[in-house]
Amino acid sequence: MCKVLKVSESGYYRWLKNKDKLKAWQLLAVEINEILNTHPDNDNYGVKRMKTALERKGIKTSERTIYRAMKKCGLLHRIRKPHGITKADTETQERENIIKRDFSADRPYAKLLTDITEIQCSDGKLYISAVLDCFNGEIVALEMRDNMKKELCIDTIKQLKNICKKDNKTILHSDRGCQYTSYTFREELVKCGLIQSLSGTGHCFDNSRMESFFATLKKEKLYRIPTYKMTQE
């Protein structure tokens, strides 16, 4: 039989001995599924977060190996990519962008990020305005309304009055939405002792850490519940 199939006898007996044993990727898949079953929200894990979770269990392997194992088990998720047109920077925009995509901070309230996102509800859209501290990723201010007028952002900033000291030189970074460039909003920043930093027009990556927070919030929580069936209240 070995001659007909053109295989060696030793090769055949080696296959016979190991045919019922799990392969390396199958053993890894067992560990991956164990991590996913630990908590209901873990089924959102991608390759990088799974690699971190495996390392915490003392299992070191490459992202490529994890990718292959997750792909064979059908555990990979579709990547959401932002859509939009990027416009060229002007000299003024470059000067006003103090952060310049450096979202690291060595102390609390040194760099703050803010933005607005929306949630579809049964009785309309709910708009969330939040402020994130670059030091530890904490949300330090939050306001919700049924509209995205400048008052939503102004009331969010007012929450920082008792937190940020005027001599702290705190930078607040946002996009160039009309709410953030309005005179009333900038006046409130001066009252709070905040230094304004603005993204370039159409450059979503200039505020990518804040965008990433909202993306994670929606993917791991809001998209998992039928918000469109719920009222804003």
% residues pLDDT > 90 (the chain) = 34
If you search the block for the tokens 């007012």, which residue do you land on? 158
Query: Once rounded to an integer, what is the mean pLDDT over residues 93-106?
Result: 85
Mean pLDDT over the full length of the chain: 85
The domains of the chain, with CATH numbers, are 2-72 (no CATH), 91-229 (3.30.420.10)
Which pLDDT score is estimated for 88?
40
What is the DSSP code (8-state) at residue 103?
-
d(CA 130, CA 207): 13
Instruction: Yes or no: say if 33 and 26 are a contact pair by the CB < 8 Å rule.
Output: no
Which pLDDT score is estimated for 87?
47
Query: Given a cut of 60, is residue 83 above it in pLDDT?
Result: no
Which pLDDT score is estimated for 19?
64
Instruction: Yes or no: say if 172 and 98 are a contact pair by the CB < 8 Å rule.
Output: no
Count Cα neighbours of 57 within 13 Å in the Cβ-side half-sphere.
Answer: 15
Torsion of CA 84, 173, 185, 147, to 10 degrees: 40
Report which secondary-structure segment, H or E, holds 215.
helix 208-220
The 10s digit of each residue's pLDDT in 10-36 is 766 676 666 666 677 788 888 898 898
Torsion angles phi and psi, residue 198, rounded to 5: -125, 140
Instruction: Yes or no: say if 89 and 200 are a contact pair by the CB < 8 Å rule.
Output: yes
